[in-house]
Amino acid sequence: MALDDRKSDFTFVGTRPDRPDGLDKVTGRAKFGADAVAPGMLFGAIVRSPHAHARIVKIDTSKAEAMKGVKAVVTRADFATGLTGEFWNVQENVMAGDTALYDGHAVAAVAATSALDARDAAKLIEVEYEVLPHVTDVDKAMAADAPVIRDGTADGSVPEGMHPNVVRYHESGHGDVAAGFAEADLVIEDSFKTEATHQGYIEPHACLASLGADGKGELWCTTQGHWYAQKHCAALLGIETSQLRVTASEIGGGFGGKTTVFIEPVALALSRKANRPVKLVMSRSEVLRATGPTSSTSMDVKIGMKKDGTITAAEGVFRLQGGAFPGAPMEFTAMCAFAPYALENVRQVGYDVIANRPKQAAYRAPGSPMAAFAVESVIDLLCQELDLDPVEVRLKNASKKGTKASYGPRFDDIGLVECLEAARDHPHYSAPLEQGQGRGISCGFWFNHGGETSVSLALSEDGTVQVSVGTPDIGGSRASMALMASETLGIPYENIRVTIADTATLGYNDVSHGSRVTYASGLATIKAAQAAIAEMCKRAAAKWGIPEDAVKWEDGCAVPSGPNAGDFEPLAMADITADMGATGGPISGHFEATPEGAGVSFGVHIVDAQVDPETGKTSIPRYTVIQDAGKAVHPAYVEGQFQGGAAQGIGWALNEEYIYGEDGRLQNAVFLDYRIPVASDLPMIDTVIVEVPNPGHPYGVRGVGETGIVPPLAAIANAVSRAAGVRMHELPMSPPRILAALKADG
Amino acid sequence: MSKIHVTTTVNGDETEFLCDPRETLLDVLRDRLNLTGAKEGCGTGDCGACSVTIDGRLVCSCLVLGAEAEGKEIATVEGIAEGDTLHPLQRKFIEHAALQCGICTPGILVAAKSLLEKNPNPTETEVRYWLAGNLCRCTGYDKIIRAVMDAATEMREAS
């Protein structure tokens, strides 16, 4: 059997069947994080710091504990001690220790017999604070006079003489940038800033926890990675990992923000103390104040170009503020910045800066959109100055197979040139603009990811198939897994049921992040199906009395091949599974690995912006997303990823931002004030799926989830800057900022 | 605090419950009546995930008190399908891939149904403005708008 050849003709992959969870989700039957109940369940509530930075002098829980209906109060004293590294950082974020580090930082929690009582009891917990100086802006946090937030956090990478708030440093590149700039006909250097935005998933964090005094527990939660939750909750509670079984609920959006834990360890601590199950659900305000927004950034980019559009050198400095904890993805920002371009001379530097804000969390291609905003804005300025076509300039410099990437490795098969050609040839790019409109384009890059992956596939006696995967389905992945399994097995899509298994059912699975699910769980599903096929061929061979390698698998049947071809009637899958108990036992297939061939991803966006010079308001009349999917398994959900990324990018570019007052408190912690795009803000979003197969996947699949948010900030900034006639340097490009820019320009 | 006894109708079924005067209709639906189809995305009437109708009027159930359901007819996402027959909107949402995570879907379906009852032939702009109170973070709305327009067409042709 030749199972390793890359497939190019498909029966099921590439079609658009109904998703398997569709019925549950249109009837209200699907169970999300907050939809679970347990007998004897209590409700939790969390007390949060109203200060940006304060020493916790004393917590008096006596009044709350005395209240009728209150069954447990926990503080940091109820969690494990002695943690180090990321476990310690997560614990510090989940429940403050000596110091509250941002507005909204959890300091205590209570469980009571009703949600209303829990809320009332939380108000009775008295916390005495000693307010400390704070800083929330990235540049101010690096300045010599900035308050030191957590001294000793910096690692060995940080150069001598930096402020203690600079906690990590990155530098990479190749060639000689000084020599490259000397060759240029024009060098432009400019500075940019972006404000933090939130992932804005509509489902707040929610969980139902049960932990006994024997250290055995159950956790139901909305998460992108329940093994991650298991590992971190166990560490924070001081219990054994395998004693905690975690089940992922249906997840109401995550976009990277549900790749960590916030309330889950707290609910477990409350449950352990109360000896009853505890449900904990965040309010929207808690989500915005205390869960991961993106980093805010401050960036300087310098690019040299010849008159013909050739880039001779590029250099960038990227400063990312990631809240009061190390981990702002500045190395991704730096590494993604110039990845679309084949450059002889490139250098990028990143700074991870801490400030009194919530711990940043991943948000769709973490770090990359900001870099693209700065880099692609400078390229647009160069195109304007040198009177060059923006797509042609990008085509001239585009990375292709064999290019040494700005961040080190050489690219394999990639689809950037194909995306740019599709942009150039798209009717949108040549359509006339109306008065007051500008057109912008941008490239975008994301690495994509493999990660630990474990899949199990079991055959039923009737020839149908159960697939257990460990990556929560965040946007239709059960449909794509079923399509890949049906393609491999040669049986109908409808005969396959895909389940997101709990942590007790499979080996470790990395989080649903990095655009890894369709690639890695898909690859594992295909390999698991191939293992089951091998076993079915073995059973057929035994039945026919011929060698195993004389049986091949075709269209869902074992078929004799070679010298035995035609000797026996093909055995359909259901014929083999019907008596598998008697022919050797149940048949299943497994695959466990950390696949390394994720295949990087490129996209190009074209956007038209209309700026009203009277009000500064921007509208988006037309938007086109072009992106390489490798192979689109379920094209409708690939389009959906492209459109969703673009819409989030539109929000980030034009409107969304974290607004902190002088007191360090978040001023817009509700959806009315943190306004994400609504239906009437957006146009239809056109999509073009480019397919340059990924050599690292049997069907050529590349992840598609994240790249779609990389180009919008820059593409919209370029469109707005051209429409307004003034270059925009700061996001979001809200009406006041646009009016200020127009005024400054005279 | 003593509880209030409420008699109401939910999705055509007569229903009684006791609720705290502070509880919202959304709390009652989810925690007392086990109708968890309506979701709480914000609790402040900004996201529309909790959309239901009261006597045919579209509301955010997080902004209505449970006690206000007395004597009213409440309709939730759980009541949209008739038995095993999905409403055209439900079918079109699946066909058009108009949901990704699905958390906003119940509210959007309730809101869209309410729109088509008032205006069987809405323009794209009318659909966009009617649904402007229902946040979706996954789809960019494109496929949602197409699904609603397509369902409207089918319903007009069938009537």
Q: Which of A15, A19, A21, A27 to mutate: most B Cβ within 10 Å?
A: A27
What is the number of CB-based contacts under 8 A between chain A and chain B?
A: 187
Maximum C-alpha span of chain A: 89
Which CATH number describes the domain made up of A367-448+599-745?
Answer: 3.30.365.10
Kindly state whether B142 is in contact with chain A, defined as any CB-CB distance less than 8 angstroms: yes
CA distance A26 to chain B (A): 6
B41 contacts: CB under 8 Å, gap ≥ 6: A202, A203, A204, A252, A284, A671, B47, B48, B49, B50, B103, B104, B135
Residues 599-618 of A with CB under 8 A from B: none
Mutation target to probe the B interface, by most B beta carbons within 10 A, among A116, A223, A285, A678 is A678
Nearest Cα of chain A lies from the Cα of B94 at a distance, in angstroms, of 6
Q: How far is A34 from chain B (nearest CA, A)?
A: 9
Contact A648 B109 (CB under 8 A): no
- Written as six digits, the tokens of A49 are 């710091």
pLDDT tens profile B48-98 = 999 999 999 999 999 999 999 999 999 999 999 999 999 999 999 999 999
pLDDT for A2: 42
pLDDT in tens, A337-361: 999 999 999 999 999 999 999 999 9
Contact between chains at A648 and B93 (C-beta distance less than 8 A): no
* Res B12 pLDDT > 60: yes
Please check whether residue A404 is in contact with residue A437, taking contact to mean a CB–CB distance below 8 angstroms: no
* CB neighbour list of residue A284: distance below 8 Å, 6 or more residues apart: A204, A669, A670, A671, B41, B42, B43, B44, B46, B47
Q: How far is A328 from chain B (nearest CA, A)?
A: 23
Q: Do A475 and B138 touch (CB under 8 A)?
A: yes
| Single-letter amino acid, residue A304 | G
Dump pLDDT digits (tens) for A609-622: 999 999 999 999 99
| Residues in contact with A614: Cβ distance below 8 Å, sequence separation at least 6, in sequence order | none
CA distance A523 to A698: 7
- Domain extents in chain A: 22-30+450-593, 367-448+599-745
- Give the C-alpha distances (Å, rounded to integers) separating A164 from A141, A249, A431: 9, 40, 52
Give B20's contacts (C-beta < 8 A, 6+ positions apart). A114, A116, B1, B3, B4, B66
Q: For residues A672-690, give the mean pLDDT.
A: 98
What's the average model confidence in pLDDT over A115-124?
A: 98
Cβ <8 Å between B39 and A671: no
CATH says A22-30+450-593 is which class? alpha beta
Chain A residues 393-452 with CB within 8 Å of chain B: none
Chain A CB contacts of B100 below 8 Å: 253, 474-476, 637, 640-641, 644
Whole-prediction pTM value? 0.98
Does the CB of B151 have a partner CB in chain A at under 8 Å?
Answer: no
Spatial distance between the Cα atoms of A586 and A439, rounded to a whole number of angstroms: 60
Q: Cβ contacts (< 8 Å) between B36 and chain A: which residues?
A: 28, 31-32, 34-35
Angle at A577 between CA A571 and CA A582, to 5 degrees: 105
CB atoms within 10 A of CB A621: 12
ipTM: 0.98
Distance between CA atoms of residues A476 and A473, nearest Å: 6
Shortest CA distance from A705: residue in chain B? B138
Distance of CA A290 to the CA centre of its chain: 18
Which DSSP state fits A501? -
**Whole-angstrom Cα distance, residue A135 to residue A140?**
7
Predicted confidence band of residue A8 (pLDDT cuts 50, 70, 90):
confident
Q: Which residues of B touch A26 (CB under 8 A)?
A: 77, 80, 86, 90, 93-94, 99, 105, 109
Chain B residues with CB under 8 Å of A681 CB are 132
Q: Which of A34, A677, A680 sits opposite B40 (nearest CB)?
A: A34
pLDDT at A105: 98
Is A287 an interface residue toward B (CB < 8 Å)? no
Band (A7; pLDDT cuts 50, 70, 90): confident
Residue contact A202–B105, C-beta within 8 A: no
What are the structure tokens assigned to A390, written together?
């923006």
- For A306-410, list the strands marked E by DSSP: 311-321, 346-353
Residues 173-192 of A with CB under 8 A from B: none
> Tell me: the pLDDT tens digits for B110-152?
999 999 999 999 999 999 999 999 999 999 999 999 999 999 9
> Which residue from A21, A22, A201 is facing B137, i.e. has the nearest CB?
A201
The answer to whether A22-30+450-593 and A367-448+599-745 have equal CATH topology is: yes
The domains found in chain B, sorted by start residue, are 4-79 (3.10.20.30), 88-158 (1.10.150.120)
Look at residues A476, A460, A568 and name the one whose alpha carbon lies nearest to residue A522.
A476
